[in-house]
Amino acid sequence: LRRNPGEPEFHQAVHEVLHSLAPVLRKRPEYAEAKLVERLVEPERQVLFRVPWTDDRGEVHVNRGYRVEFSSALGPYKGGLRFAPDLALGTVKFLAFEQIFKNALTGLGIGAGKGGADFDPKGRSDAEVMRFCQSFMTELHRHLGEHTDVPAGDIGVGGREIGYLFGQYKRLTNRFEAGALTGKGTGWGGSQARTEATGYGTVHFVREMLATRGEDIAGRRVVLSGAGNVSLFAIEKAQAYGALVIACSDSSGYVVDEAGLDLELLKEIKLERRGRLDTYAEARPGARFSTTGSVYDVPCDIALPCATQNELGQDHAVGLVKNGVKAVAEGANMPCTPDAVEVLREAGVLYGPGKAANAGGVATSALEMRQNAARDIWSFEETENRLAAVMRDIHTQCVVAAEEFGAPDDYVLGANAAGFLRVAEAMRDQGVV
């Protein structure tokens, strides 16, 4: 705590992992002796930089850019960029730390990093976003490379931003180095199914969890938070498997549609118009938009928090349990507070932590790097099949590790232990670095 003051989310993420690792380190004392944990909680490198840019009226703004390169034990640093007005170093560190275990679980040879800026793209013109991205990349480019550090998108960074970032990277380096960024347009090096991968993967994971109890998502009432990249494609996949998806939210409120959400309308509002959810209720008879209470007040069998960290608190968890929720899988990173997780687990609800349940996005990013390295292009179907296989494998790793360390059904312990063991072996092999 003293070494990392004012970083509560980082403390929260580390605390959860250390709690899980106690039984692992008891079984593998050599890892404790090698101070693997002490090394693992210290980022290999942190870069903070000034991002000056000019808005459409000629006014100069100064933002702060971040890249935390946490671990390269398994491959080049890999993890998204977030543009959000309240982004601080502690948030980036928690995200990068989670990425260590998540990326290890994919089995795909990627290290861990995360970055971004305290820039709010909301309400900015395309030209302003482009100028911001160009200024951001002007500093960041010297730290990137297909064998060094490979960012992708996250909150506030989608296909538009990745395009501008890549354009500036190419201009500064004089190289078309496709493998230096993922989430690119499919016409110029991007992988099919990358946009869909995190949301699709979360649904694959929840189906695997339900199958351990002989259940399925078909016919189940599903509620999600968020209406962004992860959420929209989780809705798409859940509906494809026959679920009744009845509610989702955005930063302005939530919408309930008992007939089942109209995904085409949602996509048009959120992806094309970059609008708010109240317009969904206006356009759809029977749907209601609310700014009071929470999306988690809507009775459901399955909840998929897909918005942001610490958005599902203890009271929400109590309400979900009271309404009979069977499974909660995190499409977002650390959306459930620790006391909410405790409530869910004590009630016997299946709980899939983000580092396992949302790993499909980064896994498909690693598949994009693979296609770039081979100058190959896979079909949507082939990429999606590989994604589904990775998610099945992650689920199996969690179950096996949880059993090995005496906590069957505990996906938190399973994910942390399985991810840690993979990184720990690599660190041991590579010496004290």
Distance CA 251, CA 398 (A): 32
CB 265 within 8 A of CB 283: yes
Compare residues 266 and 424 and give the one whose CB is closer to ligand NDP.
266
**Both tokens assigned to 131:** 């100028």
Pick the binder of ligand NDP from 21, 24, 117, 230 (CB under 6 A): 230
Shortest separation between residue 87's beta carbon and ligand NDP, angstroms: 11
In DSSP notation, 115-182 reads EEES---TT--HHHHHHHHHHHHHHHGGG-BTTTEEEE-BTTB-HHHHHHHHHHHHHHHTS--GGG-S
Compare residues 172 and 271 and give the one whose CB is closer to ligand NDP.
271
Residue of minimal Cβ distance to ligand NDP: 228
Candidates 28-36, 68-76, 151-159, 397-405 — which segment interacts with ligand NDP by CB under 6 A? Answer: 151-159
Report which secondary-structure segment, H or E, holds 53: strand 45-54
Q: Which residue among the candidates 78, 93, 102, 114 is catalytic per the annotation? A: 114
**What dihedral angle (degrees, nearest 10) is formed by the CA atoms of 216, 221, 225, 229?**
60
Pick the binder of ligand NDP from 149, 250, 257, 410 (CB under 6 A): 250
Residue type, 242: G
- Check residue 358 for interaction with ligand NDP (CB under 6 A): yes
Q: Which of 131, 139, 171, 164 is nearest to 67 (CA)?
A: 139
Compare residues 171 and 273 and give the one whose CB is closer to ligand NDP.
273
Q: Which of 111, 61, 64 is nearest to 83 (CA)?
A: 64
- Check residue 293 for interaction with ligand NDP (CB under 6 A): no
Helix, strand, coil share of the chain (percent; to 5)? 50, 15, 35
Region 303-332 residues binding ligand NDP, contact defined as CB under 6 A: 306-308, 311, 331-332
Pick the binder of ligand NDP from 20, 192, 198, 383 (CB under 6 A): 198
Q: Is 184 a catalytic residue?
A: no
Shortest separation between residue 354's beta carbon and ligand NDP, angstroms: 6
Helix (H, G, I), strand (E, B) or coil at 151: strand
Region 9-28 residues binding ligand NDP, contact defined as CB under 6 A: none
- Check residue 90 for interaction with ligand NDP (CB under 6 A): no
Q: How many residues bind ligand NDP, per CB under 6 A? A: 25
Just list the catalytic residues: 114
* Interface positions with ligand NDP (CB under 6 A): 153-156, 198, 225-231, 249-252, 306-308, 311, 331-333, 358, 361
